[in-house]
């Protein structure tokens, strides 16, 4: 159903087509629109007829167009809920949407719009009913809203489309108006309200006084200050009336002149107040970045300031006092540690088949974890941890003095006060929750020490793990026997009773190792009250079971990326904007999963193809010609590329980061587990092969070659480094060491006071060649501890970006640069579209006629502007008569025929090299002239507009002036900020 606002709509044409159904052409608010109802064929093979028909129609219509109906097709895996994961026809449907630049208007309400009416494993839910529109529709009807209603008489959910925004009346929240400060009465109102006596805690007194001030200001504003805009209107009318009367008098009355003067002054006063009001409503005069806008939070300013101060205090104790099993919101710990450990433990559980001991994992789901925390329990936890009483009092006041108001249909309802829970939006809430959940962790550790609970352990010196936590996401690991189960049940019941937390047993489940008896599997859920499952599935958003299907794990990620980089966005964005969007999407969406899972090669190729296709855009509803090689756009910017990253290499660099953390961070649990399982707690040895390697370890081990092949000991005091260490000697030393000396520390050969090698001691033990190699190794002068460093980093620490550079350079010098000054190009303070344009000139990636001919397009290579030569880039920008007129007619007065370099690339190289140590204004103007020449050339070819050198010059000069006006404005704004900051500091000192 389409809500057309019939009073403003006139239907002019109705038609029927066998592929679609009904087409309507109407007129609403003076705008002609088209509305099409569709029904997709039940057979996948027949739906292509509909897609082709709609695609052809999209090329013919210029009006706003909306398509609605049962498409019988889902567009991604997220639109289907079923045990059968096979989806057909997705690629064809997506191609239609991208090539036609159709936008999917997501509906409010039911996500799945069709179901088959069956129960259990046979149930299928799909989003078949959709509403698509073109860009023109959203431009004319930006408030279009689609609602999916409940299905009752049919197996489909009805869709309702509302084209117009409905803004119901609602009371405005209170805001202090800065214009009130111009009225002397405002100060008296605030002072009288503030001096009203209040009793209670300091926080209650503060809140009560603020409420009193708010109430009195509202009364005063309504009774005395009044509505400024209405007053301005009335004063304008009165002033106009007085001035009309003055025209009729030869000698105007004195009282009328005084009245006219008073009204004028009063109007000026009201206008000044109105100006202050609008300046205050604007909040930010010129927002330039996302950080200029403030997010909505559920706590007021006073509470947020106090919370942030307390958070800084709490952060300092988290690492010391919070259990190492908790990886959430603690500095130095990462969410990936929980994911990797969960994968290791699930591998141990799933592969226990021949041994007698059986294990199980218990995934807990806590109902409204933050909302149900008991305030009394929180206070007792802080007291037991030794928090100062004053700190506890302030924290509890911030937690307990909270009130909520619901927004119902856009209108705020009455206020109510909760009796438990931590408010969302408060910076302190995550840390307070960790203090409370740490109690459960301590209870589990105590039960383990008392041998009432047995966790999973690998090796004699490996850590024993009974649980993993990330905030409120918790998994318990324990031996599958009745005693352990009773202990777990008692611990969870006790924790729930004292903390107020409630376990959601419907969403909690248990996974058993294969060797667990059937009898025990059936009895354990009755003890713990949870159901069983064959696999853990996703934990913290990543598949962590022993057998991971990488294709299934990355399918959802691929759907999200493709939805972000759809074809209609490529049509609306410039090429530089598309490059920015590609980098933004690919640097945010896949990074999380690429850090722990191997990316299949076909998905890596697909990701790279999506990025490349989106950058080059679409022409005639097909992917545009790629005018530069793939290797070039995926190269580094300082090497002549665009800085796009190859997905497969990013995956390897991210996985290698986990190996670096194993070597460099000995305190986290995943590092301890991996050292015990794969290195026998000896990092000098190569990783050993075990019978139960986790699926994630296999890919981490493979990617980690770039870590341990390039590790090196930074020699300090020599206590940790052994003579036989593989991370500091050169290959020709290995045969010189005897087995008895291999494990001796090199401390005996170091003069710690001088920070030098003891050459005499070395010469007594080794040959001269060996001594020469050893003393070539530098020693720290400050007698620090020995540390492992990564060779290819200046700081010695591995980073993903440097790892990617090493992988992409294939071992070559990663710091080499080409002849063109690429770094200087990308560092210029000018629009990114100009930088991208210059890159395309230098790399010969512009669609001039010669390039198009080279890519097998049937075109005439002769320049259409002058008709004298083939249209190469050198000809377009230097030798064409039009280009020569532009250069000579500009303020630069350049004669291109006198250029020593005859190539545009050589000209650009010369210009850039000459401008590196000079003012960039002339260089900017030259680059803008190049872009303006190309813009005029395109207008001539595409729209038949006459190429006018004077207009081309003016366009470049106007852009040049606008760019420097913005630069000057930003510099002046920066100076104002500095002056304001210095005045504040002077006032505070005085």
Residue 262's contacts (CB-CB under 8 Å, 6 or more residues apart) are none
Cα-based distances in Å from 823 to 615, 835, 903: 21, 11, 21
The tens digit of pLDDT for each residue in 835-852 reads: 999 999 999 999 999 999
| Cα–Cα distance for residue pair 155/362, rounded to 1 Å | 38
Q: What is the tens place of the pLDDT at every residue in 138-149?
A: 888 888 889 998
- Residue 109, pLDDT above cutoff 60: yes
Question: So what's the pLDDT on residue 295?
Answer: 38
Give pLDDT, residue 388: 92
pLDDT value, residue 493: 92
Q: Are 421 and 372 in contact (CB under 8 A)?
A: yes
pLDDT of residue 355: 67
Tokens representing 497? 């009773």
Query: What's the CATH code, domain 2-162?
Result: 3.60.10.10
Residue ranges per domain, the chain? 2-162, 301-404+419-543, 550-645, 822-972
Backbone angles phi, psi at 364, to 5 degrees: -95, 140
d(CA 675, CA 658): 12
Using one digit for the tens of pLDDT, what is the confidence trace for 589-634?
677 788 888 888 888 888 888 888 888 887 766 778 888 888 888 8
pLDDT band at 813 (very low <50, low <70, confident <90, very high): very low
Q: Copy the structure tokens of residue 15.
A: 């038609």
User: Could you tell me which residue, 721 or 16, shows the higher pLDDT?
Assistant: 721
The better pLDDT of the pair 417, 440 is held by: 440
- Measured between alpha carbons, how far is 850 from 948 in angstroms, rounded to an integer? 23
pLDDT of 986 reads 52
Query: Cα Rg for the chain, rounded, in angstroms?
Result: 36
Angle at Cα 828 formed by Cα 823 and Cα 833, nearest 5°? Answer: 100
Query: In this model, does residue 834 exceed pLDDT 60?
Result: yes
Strand segments (E) across 742-848: 750-751, 756-757, 787-790
pLDDT at 7 over 60: no
Q: To 10 degrees, what angle do helices 482-499 and 518-528 make?
A: 20
Most confident of 455-469, 701-715, 941-955, 971-985: 941-955
Tokens 């190729």 correspond to what residue? 605
**271 or 467: whose pLDDT is higher?**
467
pLDDT tens digit string along 160-180? 998 877 666 566 677 778 788
Sign of the torsion angle spanned by Cα atoms 886, 888, 892, 894: positive
Name the pLDDT band for 274 (thresholds 50, 70, 90).
confident
Computed over every residue of the chain, the mean pLDDT equals 81
Lowest model confidence (mean pLDDT) among 112-116, 149-153, 721-725, 905-909: 721-725
How far apart are the C-alpha atoms of 836 and 821, rounded to whole Å?
A: 14
Q: How does pLDDT run across 890-907, given as a tens digit for each residue?
A: 988 888 877 666 789 989
pLDDT at residue 378, rounded to an integer: 95
- Write down the pLDDT at residue 18: 58
Are 511 and 354 spatial neighbours (Cβ–Cβ below 8 Å)?
Answer: no
pLDDT number for residue 592? 78
Can you tell me the distance from the alpha carbon of 382 to that of 434, in angstroms, rounded to the nearest whole number? 11
Q: What residues have CB less than 8 Å from 710, skipping those under 6 apart? A: 790, 791, 792, 806
Q: Which of 472, 467, 468, 470 is nearest to 447 (CA)?
A: 467
């Amino acid at each position: 159903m389409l809500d057309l606002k019939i009073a403003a709509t006139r239907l002019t044409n109705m038609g029927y087509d066998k592929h679609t159904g009904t087409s309507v052409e109407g007129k609403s608010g003076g705008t002609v629109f088209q509305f099409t109802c569709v029904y997709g064929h039940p057979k996948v093979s027949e739906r292509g007829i509909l897609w082709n028909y709609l695609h052809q129609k999209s090329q013919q219509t210029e009006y706003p167009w909306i398509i609605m109906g049962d498409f019988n097709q889902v567009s991604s895996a997220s639109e289907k809920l079923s045990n059968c994961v096979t989806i057909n026809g997705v690629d064809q449907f997506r191609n239609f949407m991208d090539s036609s630049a159709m936008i999917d208007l997501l509906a409010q309400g039911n996500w799945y719009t069709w179901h088959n009416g069956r129960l259990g494993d046979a149930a299928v839910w799909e989003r078949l009913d959709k509403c698509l529109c073109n860009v023109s529709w959203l431009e004319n009807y930006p408030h279009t809203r689609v609602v999916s209603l409940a299905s009752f008489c049919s197996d489909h959910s009805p869709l309702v489309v509302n084209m117009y925004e409905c803004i119901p009346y609602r009371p405005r929240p209170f805001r202090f108006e800065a214009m009130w400060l111009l009225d002397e009465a405002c100060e008296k109102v605030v002072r009288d309200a503030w001096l009203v006596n209040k009793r209670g805690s300091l926080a209650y007194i503060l809140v009560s006084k603020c409420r009193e001030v708010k109430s009195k200001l509202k009364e005063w504003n309504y009774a005395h200050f009044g509505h400024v805009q209405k007053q301005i209107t009335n004063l304008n009318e009165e002033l106009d009336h007085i001035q009309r009367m003055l025209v009729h008098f030869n000698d105007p009355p004195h009282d009328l002149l005084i009245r006219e003067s008073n009204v004028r002054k009063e109007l000026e006063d009201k206008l000044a107040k109105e100006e202050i009001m609008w300046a205050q409503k604007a909040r930010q005069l010129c927002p330039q970045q996302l950080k200029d806008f403030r997010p909505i939070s559920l706590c007021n300013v006073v509470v947020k300031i106090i919370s942030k101060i307390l958070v800084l205090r709490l952060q300092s104790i988290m690492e010391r006092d919070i259990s190492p099993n908790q990886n959430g919101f603690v500095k130095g710990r990462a969410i990936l540690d929980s994911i990797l450990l969960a994968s290791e433990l699930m591998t141990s559980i799933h592969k226990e088949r021949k041994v007698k001991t059986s294990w199980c994992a218990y995934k807990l789901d806590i109902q409204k974890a933050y909302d149900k925390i008991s305030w009394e329990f929180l206070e007792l936890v802080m007291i037991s941890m030794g928090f100062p009483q004053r700190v506890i009092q302030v924290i509890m006041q911030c937690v307990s003095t909270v009130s909520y108001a619901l927004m119902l249909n856009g209108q705020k309802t009455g206020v109510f006060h909760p009796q438990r829970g931590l408010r969302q939006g408060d910076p302190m809430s995550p840390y307070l929750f960790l203090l409370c959940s740490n109690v459960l962790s301590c209870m589990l550790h105590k039960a383990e020490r008392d041998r009432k609970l047995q966790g999973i352990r690998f090796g004699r010196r490996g850590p024993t793990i009974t649980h993993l936590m990330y905030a409120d996401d918790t998994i318990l690991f324990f031996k599958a026997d009745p005693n352990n189960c009773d202990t777990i049940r008692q611990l969870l019941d006790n924790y729930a009773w004292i903390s107020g937390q409630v376990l959601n047993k419907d969403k909690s489940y248990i996974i058993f190792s294969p060797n667990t008896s059937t009898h025990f599997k059936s009895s354990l859920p009755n003890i713990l009250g949870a159901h069983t499952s064959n696999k853990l599935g996703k934990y913290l958003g990543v598949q962590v079971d022993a057998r991971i299907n990488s294709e299934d794990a990355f399918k959802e990620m691929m759907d999200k990326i493709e939805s972000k980089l759809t074809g209609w966005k490529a049509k609306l964005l410039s090429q530089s904007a598309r490059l920015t969007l590609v980098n933004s999407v690919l640097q945010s969406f896949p990074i999380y999963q690429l850090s722990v899972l191997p990316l299949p090669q076909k998905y890596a190729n697909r990701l790279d193809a999506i990025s490349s296709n989106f950058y080059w855009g679409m022409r005639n509803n097909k992917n545009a010609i790629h005018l530069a090689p793939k290797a070039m756009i995926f190269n580094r910017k300082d090497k002549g590329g665009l800085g796009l990253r190859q997905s497969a290499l990013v995956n390897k660099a991210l996985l290698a980061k986990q190996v670096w953390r194993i070597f460099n961070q000995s305190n986290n649990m995943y590092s301890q587990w991996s050292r015990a399982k794969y290195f026998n707690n000896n990092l000098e040895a190569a990783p050993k092969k075990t019978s139960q390697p986790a699926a994630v370890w296999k890919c981490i081990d493979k990617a980690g070659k770039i870590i341990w092949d390039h590790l090196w000991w930074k020699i300090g005091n020599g206590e940790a480094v052994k003579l036989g260490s593989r991370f500091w000697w050169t290959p020709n030393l290995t045969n010189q060491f005897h087995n008895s000396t291999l494990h001796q520390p090199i401390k005996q050969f170091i003069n710690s006071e001088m920070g030098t090698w003891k050459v005499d001691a070395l010469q007594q033990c080794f040959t001269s060649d060996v001594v020469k190699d050893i003393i070539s190794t530098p020693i720290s002068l400050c007698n620090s501890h020995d540390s492992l460093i990564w060779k290819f980093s200046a700081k010695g620490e591995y980073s993903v970006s440097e790892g990617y550079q090493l992988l992409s350079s294939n071992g070559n010098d990663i710091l080499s640069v080409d002849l063109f000054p690429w770094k200087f190009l990308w560092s210029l303070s000018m629009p990114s579209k100009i930088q991208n344009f210059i890159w395309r000139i230098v790399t010969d990636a512009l669609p001039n006629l010669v390039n198009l001919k080279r890519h097998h397009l049937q075109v005439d290579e002769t320049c259409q502007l002058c008709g004298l030569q083939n249209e190469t880039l050198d000809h377009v920008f230097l030798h064409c008569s039009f280009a020569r007129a532009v250069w000579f007619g500009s303020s630069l007065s350049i004669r291109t025929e006198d250029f020593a370099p005859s190539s545009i690339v050589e000209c650009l190289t010369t210009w850039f090299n000459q401008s590196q140590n000079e003012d960039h204004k002339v260089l900017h103007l030259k680059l803008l002239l190049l872009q303006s020449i190309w813009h005029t050339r395109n207008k001539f070819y595409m729209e038949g507009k006459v190429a006018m050198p004077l207009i081309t010059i003016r366009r470049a000069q106007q852009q040049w002036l606008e760019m420097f006006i913005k630069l000057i404005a930003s510099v002046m704004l920066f100076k104002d900020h500095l002056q304001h900051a210095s005045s504040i500091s002077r006032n505070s000192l005085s």
